[in-house]
Amino acid sequence: MMTIKCTRCKKKIIKYKKIGRGRLWYCWKDRIIEDNSVHVGSEIKCQCGNLIGIDEGKRIKMRQNSFHYSGTVMRKKKI
């Protein structure tokens, strides 16, 4: 489970089930466990007003440098 935090106010914004390694470019909405963000139209913001990402329908395109994240990554299951 990844916890995405705002770089400006350090608050927890999203709890996310990330699968696979690598940078977090997108957040798929069906993997979001907890969402404390503020939705203004297609903009996803922290409660402090910091723009975190853009809503693209099924996923959120994350704005790099406005958040950081920590936690564990789920490994892809071998079939």
> Which stretches of the chain bind Zn ion, using CB under 5 A?
6, 8-9, 46, 48, 50
Q: Which of 30, 8, 5, 6 is nearest to 17 (CA)?
A: 30
Q: How far is the CB of 72 from Zn ion (least distance, A)?
A: 23
Minimum CB distance to Zn ion, residue 62 (Å): 14
CA gap 1, 9 in Å, rounded: 21
Closer CB to Zn ion, residue 40 or residue 74?
40
Q: How many CB atoms lie within 10 A of CB 49?
A: 11
Comparison of 18 and 37: residue with beta carbon closer to Zn ion: 37
